[in-house]
Chains A and B, each alone.
Chain A
Amino acid sequence: MIFRAVEDTDLIRQAARGAVEAFNLLVSRWEKRVYNYLLRITGNREDALDLTQDVFLKAYQNLRKLDDPGRFAPWLYRIAHNEAYSMFRKRRPESDVAELEPEGTDTGITVGGSSVFPLELSLAVAGALNQLSPEQREAVVLKIYQGFKFEEMAEILSCPVSTVKSRLYAAFELLKIELAPIKARGVS
């Protein structure tokens, strides 16, 4: 994992000097994670794909502004977050950001797509995530599915660590009520 991080750092430095192939390799490594992050906060595959494309284009255009290559991941997700919320605002400019809800969340996004995990649990998780506010859901996605630390999440979301914790703790309290009993029944 450390070796991988060092490799990414080298690739970022090379890409910042104009090595397109180095950036292409970075895209290959990060596109799936960024796509899934955007998929979970938008709830729409097409939007997630378009946004992922935009994110990497913007990242390439602004890579020289990244002072610390070691902060590439939060920097990249910050771009992704901004792109997603920019799209939300364009579609519903009169709405407050806190009120923005991703589209297509009624059906969930991975239901029926898994052959490894039971359908019932997947349905339950998708349903529980949909009950969260967009901000709480994004906090869960960044922490659970993307593995960021609180400080990195604060950087991505441009808010204090205390706010990140508050959103995440509140989300966990809701998810715990919904999911812990199901999991405890041994559904998986």
Chain B
Amino acid sequence: MSCSPFDLRDYVLKELSDSERKQVEVHIKGCQGCSEEWERLRLTEAALFSLREEEIPQRIAFVSDKIFEPSPWRRGWAAFWGSTARLGFASAAMLSVALVVFAVVRPAAPTPGPLASSANVKAVSVSAAEIQQQIQTAVERAVAASETRQQQKFELAVAEIRQQDLKERQQLARYADAALEMSTRRNLVVERSSYGFPRADKGGLQ
């Protein structure tokens, strides 16, 4: 066990400051045990240094080497997607292709063929009956709704016509009353003028 002020291994491994190293060196000179321990550590380190570094078998590829360059295909791909116009063209082309593919692979209407099994035929017929029933129900509902709407429109129109007719009748009545009054007044004027009464435009008749 070392009695050095600092760990002799740290001294050998060069982890001590200059002042600490000097303290250790002074101690070693006066301590037989620590001197022997330091010698063993020094020999160990020297032995380890006998292993030399190997040369690297081949140069490490630089990032600028051609091996790290993207392939022509990748460069073309990057250039293509880097263009907005080309991107738009590609989108339109993809949409066209999708439409064509959909048109080609779209499933045909179910038509039971002669080789269809009875179960399939039954299933298809049941499905057709249900569909027919649903269609009939939907049509009836639509017709009823349409009739209701037409009836409401008709009633509104009738009410409006009646209202208009009433207004016209009232108007005619007012016209008739006015004409009757005018006629009455005219007769009265004629009658009075025939008896020597002053004319109405002279201020005699109010």
Describe B's contact surface by its main secondary structure. loop
Cβ-defined contact, A172 with B9, below 8 A: yes
B43 contact set on A, CB distance < 8 A: 179-180, 183-184
Asked whether, in the complex, the Cβ of B46 is within 8 Å of the Cβ of A183, the reply is yes
With A180-B44, A183-B43 as given contacts, are A116 and B15 in contact (CB-CB < 8 Å)?
A: no
Nearest-CB distance from A81 to chain B (Å)? 18
Residue of A nearest to B58 (CB): A49
Asked if B64 and A20 make an inter-chain contact with CB atoms under 8 angstroms apart, the answer reads: yes
A66 CB within 8 Å of chain B: no
Tell me, rounded to whole Å, the shortest Cβ–Cβ distance linking A79 to chain B. 14
B73 part of interface (Cβ distance < 8 Å): no
Say yes or no: A24-B57 contact (C-beta < 8 A), given A110-B51, A125-B47, A172-B41. no
B54 and A113 form a contact (CB under 8 A): yes
Question: 8 Å CB contacts to A: which residues of B26-72?
Answer: 40-41, 43-64
Partner of A188, one of B44, B46, B55: B46
- Given the known interface contacts A125-B48, A169-B9, the answer about A53 and B40 at a Cβ–Cβ threshold of 8 Å is no
A118 proximity list for chain B (CB < 8 A)? 50
Which chain B positions have C-beta within 8 A of A124?
47
Taking the closest CB of chain A, its distance from the CB of B2, in whole angstroms, is 12
Q: Is A71 an interface residue (CB 8 A)?
A: no
Determine the chain B residues whose CB is within 8 A of the CB of A180 once the complex forms. Answer: 40-41, 43-44, 47
Pairwise interchain contact B64-A21, C-beta atoms closer than 8 A = yes
Interface size on B, residues (CB 8 A): 27
B55 partner residues in chain A, CB cutoff 8 A:
32
> B51 touching A145 by the CB < 8 A rule?
yes
B13 at the interface (CB under 8 A from A): yes
Q: Is the CB of A20 within 8 A of B62?
A: yes
A182 at the interface (CB under 8 A from B): yes
Chain B residues, CB < 8 A from A64: none
Which residues of the partner chain A approach B40 to less than 8 Å between Cβ atoms?
176, 180
CA distance A144 to B46 in the complex (A): 10
Could you tell me the distance in whole angstroms from the C-beta of B35 to the nearest C-beta in chain A? 14
Given A32-B56, A180-B43, A188-B50, 8 more A-B residue pairs with CB atoms under 8 Å apart are: A27-B62, A49-B57, A52-B56, A121-B47, A124-B47, A125-B50, A179-B44, A179-B48
Interface of A toward B, CB cutoff 8 Å? 20-21, 23-24, 27, 31-33, 35-36, 39, 45, 49, 52-53, 56-57, 60, 109-110, 113-114, 116-118, 121-122, 124-126, 140, 143-145, 149-150, 168-169, 172, 175-176, 179-180, 182-184, 188
The 8 closest A-B pairs by CB, nearest first: A179-B47, A183-B43, A117-B50, A24-B62, A180-B40, A180-B43, A183-B47, A20-B64
Task: Give chain B's interface residues, CB within 8 Å of chain A.
Answer: 9, 13, 15, 40-41, 43-64
